[in-house]
Amino acid sequence: MKKIIFHIDVNSAFLSWEAVYRLAHKGGRQDLREIPSAVGGDVALRHGIILAKSIPAKKYGIQTGETIWEAKRKYPDLVLVPPNYGLYDQCSVALMELLREYSDVVEQYSIDEAFVDMSGTCHLFGTPEETAERMKNRIREELGFTVNVGVSDNKLLAKMASDFKKPNWAHTLYQTEIRQKMWPLPVSDLFFVGRATAKKLFSMGIRTIGELAAADPARLKSVLKKQGEVIWGFANGIDLSPVLAQPPANKGYGNSTTTPYDVTDPETARLVLLALCETVGGRLRRDGVQARVVSVGIRYGDLSHVSHQKIPRSPTNLTVELYEAACQLFTELWNGQPIRHLGVHTGQAAEENRYRQLNFFDEIDYEKLIRLDRTVDAIRERFGADAVIRAAFLGRTIDHMSGGISREKRSVDYEKVRIW
């Protein structure tokens, strides 16, 4: 059967979803997508970067990832709106549900991207090009936002095709079209080629994807190691990876947070670690797995970074055990400098085992701790994350469930936000 793969990419996702929500539900009159605007974090909480931008903002050189101060310097009248990840999750779920009406093989690649294997169902809707147009138009009409659809016979080329002219376009990039459509592009446009790799390729005299495709694979491997072989294959349109309806099991779980101020005392640092262990432990238990490795990362005020890891005596998903390991690692790692960012990560996650290696002198009631964590998880699941809060966090500025999406990004109080 001939492979037909679609890649769907939401145009300026966070900005588009906010624009649609304001127009449809908040009485907005100005479409944020049509003016220089951007989604940005809270400068006061040190999350002051551009998360998404409109196409008009791009004309002023505003880039995703730069600071709000840099963006405002380029265009002082830039309209900024706060992030709202609760809304983004809802929009993402609606998109994936619509895509599954076209195929049961949908791989969510990110919150705003997905691959769809249309090989077995495309004939029900028309040609691949007709189906892509139909899908794109239906998303715009029913969900209110626009997407680009890339069509090809493998995932790599479909993704490359969706990056062609935006917004609201469907493009093809079949193997027979690589020479015409992809090879003239800058090598930096190729998937898996970042700034550092592009710089090395430039030094080798390789500036276009076509030049990379014609390069000697052995020479590329000598300079770029394994990545050289991979990107040479990509430049020639080679990708054998399947569309996975079910994602592979997660082997690592972790969370990190930028603190609202520089942390200079161990008590506050350990409180942040406890908050991170709350969220990491909850995710491990939700998926029914235990971690064999725990690591802690510290980013200092000068943006330097250090990390350290250890193997607990037994695989665990208990919050208290994760916390004890994190505190031990922190004590060994911290040099006393002001801390800007802390992270707790776990590795080698495997299916939960209720049996554990006990120490002869161990007096801890692990069954009781397991029941306690499970009960707290159930209460939070039913009544919200704030339904149960450890006493250590009362009266403190540290979020008791830190990491991942910070509290101020989970929802927006539109009573306090200007709607244009």
pLDDT score, position 301: 86
Q: What is the CATH number of the domain that holds 203?
A: 1.10.150.20
pLDDT score, position 384: 86
Q: Which of 11-20, 206-215, 346-355 has the lowest mean pLDDT?
A: 346-355
**Which candidate in 18, 113, 321, 408 is catalytic?**
113
Instruction: Return the residue matching tokens 């409180």.
Output: 271
Q: Are residues 296 and 333 in the same domain?
A: yes
Q: How many CA atoms lie within 13 A of 152 on its CB side?
A: 29
Q: Are residues 55 and 137 in the same domain?
A: yes
Reported as a single tens digit per residue, the pLDDT across 86-102 is: 899 999 999 999 999 99
Domain count, the chain: 3
For residue 1, pLDDT over 80 is answered with: no
Classify residue 416: in a domain, yes or no.
no
pLDDT score, position 185: 98
pLDDT score, position 358: 62
Residue 129 is a catalytic residue: no
Q: Are residues 168 and 187 in the same domain?
A: no
Q: What's the rounded Cα separation, in Å, for the pair 309 and 254?
A: 13
Cross-strand pairs, 316: 291
Classify residue 242: in a domain, yes or no.
no
Q: What's the rounded Cα separation, in Å, for the pair 273 and 243?
A: 37
Q: Are residues 224 and 343 in the same domain?
A: no
Q: What is the CATH number of the domain that holds 348?
A: 3.30.1490.100
pTM of the model: 0.82
Q: What's the rounded Cα separation, in Å, for the pair 395 and 397?
A: 7
Region 48-66: mean pLDDT is 92
For residue 191, pLDDT over 80 is answered with: yes
pLDDT score, position 190: 97
Considering 174, 192, 224, which residue would you say is the last residue of a domain?
174
Q: Are residues 403 and 276 in the same domain?
A: yes
pLDDT score, position 414: 83
Reported as a single tens digit per residue, the pLDDT across 123-144 is: 999 999 999 999 999 999 999 9
Q: Are residues 191 and 223 in the same domain?
A: yes
Q: Are residues 130 and 79 in the same domain?
A: yes
Considering 165, 200, 235, which residue would you say is the last residue of a domain?
235
85: nearest Cα among 394, 383, 407: 407
Classify residue 97 as exposed, middle or buried by CB count within 10 Å of its CB (0-12, 13-18, 19+).
exposed
Q: Are residues 157 and 193 in the same domain?
A: no
Q: Are residues 55 and 101 in the same domain?
A: yes
Could you tell me if 296 and 326 are in contact, meaning their C-beta atoms sit under 8 angstroms apart?
A: yes
pLDDT score, position 12: 93
Q: Are residues 197 and 330 in the same domain?
A: no
Task: Report the Cα–Cα distance between both ends of the chain, in Å, rounded.
Answer: 51
Region 382-408: mean pLDDT is 83
Question: Would you state the torsion angle of the CA atoms of residues 214, 216, 221, 222, taken in this order, to the nearest 10 degrees?
Answer: -140
pLDDT score, position 385: 86
Classify residue 101 as exposed, middle or buried by CB count within 10 Å of its CB (0-12, 13-18, 19+).
exposed
For residue 45, pLDDT over 60 is answered with: no
For residue 171, pLDDT over 90 is answered with: yes
Q: Which domain holds residue 315?
A: 253-410
Could you tell me if 148 and 171 are in contact, meaning their C-beta atoms sit under 8 angstroms apart?
A: yes
Q: What's the rounded Cα separation, in Å, for the pair 390 and 325?
A: 19
For residue 410, pLDDT over 80 is answered with: no
Q: Are residues 16 and 126 in the same domain?
A: yes
pLDDT score, position 313: 86
Which DSSP category does 66 fall into?
A: S
Q: What is the CATH number of the domain that holds 166?
A: 3.30.70.270
Query: Residue 367: what residue type?
Result: E
Reported as a single tens digit per residue, the pLDDT across 284-324 is: 999 999 999 999 999 998 889 999 999 998 899 999 999 99
Q: Which of 5-19, 177-191, 254-268, 344-358 has the lowest mean pLDDT?
A: 344-358
Classify residue 335 as exposed, middle or buried by CB count within 10 Å of its CB (0-12, 13-18, 19+).
exposed
Could you tell me if 60 and 36 are in contact, meaning their C-beta atoms sit under 8 angstroms apart?
A: yes
Neighbours of 384 (CB within 10 A): 9
For residue 251, pLDDT over 80 is answered with: yes
pLDDT score, position 355: 65
Classify residue 127: in a domain, yes or no.
yes
Region 109-133: mean pLDDT is 97
Give me the chain's average pLDDT, please: 92
User: What is the percent of the chain with per-residue pLDDT over 90, rounded to a whole number?
Assistant: 79
Query: What order do you get walking across the sheet with 170-172 strand by strand?
Result: 106-110, 113-117, 5-10, 147-152, 170-172
357 band by pLDDT with thresholds 50, 70 and 90? low
Instruction: Return the residue matching tokens 């990840």.
Output: 85
pLDDT score, position 406: 56
Helix axes 366-383, 319-333, angle to 10 degrees: 100
Q: Are residues 227 and 146 in the same domain?
A: no
